[in-house]
Amino acid sequence: MRLSVLQTPSPAGDIDAACAVLATALRAASAAGAGVLVAPEVFLPGYNHPRIAERALGKGSAPLARLSDAARNAGTALVFGYAEAAAGRVWNAALCLGPDGGVLAHYRKIQPYGPREKAIFTPGDAYVTFDLAGRRLALLICYDIEFAPHVAALAGQGVEAILVPTANMMPFTHVARHTVPAMAANHGLAIAYANYCGSEGDLTYAGGSLIAGPHGEVLAQAGEHPALLIADVPAVDPARVSTQITDFRKV
């Protein structure tokens, strides 16, 4: 399974530019043989945009259709975050568009982070798993991946990799450096974690996007600047799988 992760500055409200960035990255990921490209959280219109609710996108909107075409033209799946408008509410959502442009998965963030997200977004209430090229995958968004029960629940459903759009900001560099690899190791699955770099409004993003293997190994990691990461995820080695879940003693 070859995964790719895009680290890039926020489009800061320019949805046309966001779509163009994703289309270009998709072509590069496809040329490198990646099966899926993962992009950051609320990439449409940009995580820290001041008018998220006004720019939220509904099902069948033109930008989503444009990205469907881009995935189909590249022959590579695309995961990206966006502000979703539906039923008079706004969700922090992620889509996985398959290599044929069809929707493989639609997920709503379960764990809003901080007062701003809680004021803007309605929380999701369900996990989403899906198959891509014979592999069982799942989506989480940013803060979700820091909660071990969510990762454990997905591992229990046979998920081999979790694809995570994120908008992790300074000073929380420990999340990419330590938390994500530990979650991968403790639950025996890969994690593709796609963050922003640069600044947007009053936020400076931490960068550090990475692809972690199922034993916690860092297969590829970005620094503080734009990057396209590509890595092959190794098969799980039964001799290295954590036994914490079966060995746990509740007291």
Residues 6+ apart with CB under 8 A from 218: 181, 210, 211, 212
Residue among 142, 146, 160, 200 flagged as catalytic:
142
Query: What's the rounded Cα separation, in Å, for the pair 214 and 95?
Result: 23
* 41 given a catalytic annotation: yes
Which pairing describes strands 190-194 and 135-139: parallel, antiparallel, or unpaired? unpaired
Residue among 19, 41, 84, 160 flagged as catalytic:
41
* 142 given a catalytic annotation: yes
Structure tokens at 50: 């001041």
Cβ-based burial of 44 (10 A; exposed 0-12, middle 13-18, buried ≥19):
buried
48, 204 in Cβ contact below 8 A? Answer: no
205, 168 in Cβ contact below 8 A? Answer: yes
Q: Per DSSP, what are the bridge partners of residue 212?
A: 191, 218
* 19 given a catalytic annotation: no
DSSP structure class, residue 169: B
- For residue 103, report the phi and psi dihedrals to the nearest 5 degrees: -80, 120
Residue among 19, 84, 96, 109 flagged as catalytic:
109
Catalytic residues: 41, 109, 142
